[in-house]
Amino acid sequence: MTKPVVAIVGRPNVGKSTIFNRIVGERVAIVEDMPGVTRDRLYNKAEWLNHEFNIIDTGGIELGDEPLLAQMRQQAEIAIDEAHVIIFLVSAKEGITAADQEVVNMLFRSKKPVVLGVNKVDNPEMRDQLYEFYGLGIGEPFPISGAHGLGLGDLLDAVVDHFPTDLEVAYGEEAIKMALIGRPNVGKSSLVNALLGEERVIVSQIPGTTRDAIDTSFTKDEQEYVVIDTAGMRKRGKVYEATEKYSVLRSLKAIDRSDVILVVINGEEGIIEQDKKIAGYAHEAGRAIVIVVNKWDALEKDHKTMQRFVEDIRQEFQFLSYAPIVFLSAKTKQRLHLLLPEVKKVSENHHLRVSTHVLNDMIMDAVAMNPTPTDKGKRLKINYVTQVAVQPPTFVFFVNEPELMHFSYRRFLENRLRATFNFEGTPIHIISRKKND
């Protein structure tokens, strides 16, 4: 399901990271009373009154040595481009500044919904200072206190009231929706163009969830595929190239809308930390994954080059041990024919459902092979196992004491599931519950 995107915009030290953490419900951004200190996650998932959405802390978009006002403008530009609703944050203690007014002018021209949050209203006496902010001309100011968590409910009520209702895009039921993610310049656009040029059977171009986004549908061997719009397929302005974190933003939105994620790596450069971060988001989202090593034609190779590259990937992406790897060149189309069969296979595995009878027989055999662990004289007892979901395959183990399900034994069970059934390309979720829950 495609989720709305909310961005928090404002000058440094108005409390963007504090409000971000309050809304998300956990400390995921570093908070310190010093401008520009945000260093951690740029976005996270959040929920308010059964509305799920993604939220961006634009303070995490670092833009080098540019002047403060220029950075604020660029961060606001990214938020305007990516968000469905914008929270504009100001400080009650400092009033309206020239920087605030500059960003307001940009937000006003964008015609995107803006909710005005006045932070640091830490006591009722400070509410008299709200009237000044009506002068910004962007609607009612909502008094909030990030430090004490006050007023966020009213602010979020206003935010969800602005959520669009037309985010879903209609595809054929059997279509496999795939997105290419990766940092800039790994060849995502070239790979999309190679796929579409190779098949030459473009069925349709489907408007995506944001202005100027286009999803492209094509058919190969009677299977419909949809390429979900991602970073390289849309306009590339200077502001977006100024930060690698911007590619994470685009990846998040593409992941939300996809069944299968192609994690694209530049074969010439090898693996860097940003590749692992972006792949981690796809893994956490529970999507089927294929690792694609592009620009394979550009490497000088011997008979062990591919083997060494596979070993490097398995070492660096240990959390993606289940994902198949395809080496190809979008430029020359070398080995391109190997990609779509892998996409189809991992999509089928992502939907795989195992009958309860077969599943419990397999678990009994696994326990006989490797008995359950004990702790302080108590042994884990697995009473019953059932699969409760697909996309990704999710299994509930009913046990006597869930806390006895140690990480190492959970990993053993996952490995046995993978060895018995074909779950290549898909994560597996294992949940342990007390028998009478």
| Annotated binding-site members for GTP | 10-17, 57-61, 119-122, 182-189, 229-233, 294-297
Encode burial over 279-297: b for 16+ CB neighbours within 10 A, e otherwise: bebbbebbbbbbbbbbbbb
Strands (E), 167-229: 176-181, 202-207, 214-220, 223-228
Alpha-carbon span 395 to 70, nearest angstrom = 50
Two tokens, residue 403: 């806390």
Sheet strand arrangement including 43-48: 43-48, 51-57, 5-9, 85-91, 114-119, 141-143
Q: How far is CA 100 from CA 57, 76, 81, 241, in A?
A: 17, 11, 19, 25
Q: Can you list the pairs that 131-137 forms with residues at least 24 positions away whose Cβ atoms lie under 8 Å?
A: 132/95, 132/96, 133/90, 133/96, 135/96, 136/90, 136/96, 136/100, 136/101, 136/104, 137/104, 137/108
Fill in the DSSP letter of residue 279.
Answer: H
Phi-psi label, residue 281: left if phi above 0, alpha if psi -120 to 50, beta otherwise: alpha
DSSP per position, 309-330: HHHHHHHHTGGGTTS-EEE--T
Which amino acid is it at 352? L
Backbone angles phi, psi at 52, to 5 degrees: -90, 140
Alpha-carbon span 280 to 106, nearest angstrom = 33
The count of residues in the chain is 437
Q: Can you list the pairs that 358-364 forms with residues at least 24 positions away whose Cβ atoms lie under 8 Å?
A: 359/385, 359/386, 359/387, 359/395, 360/384, 360/385, 362/416, 362/417, 362/420, 363/397, 363/413, 363/416
SS3 (DSSP) at 179: strand
Residues in Cβ contact with 240 at an 8 Å cutoff, skipping those fewer than 6 apart: 78, 231, 246
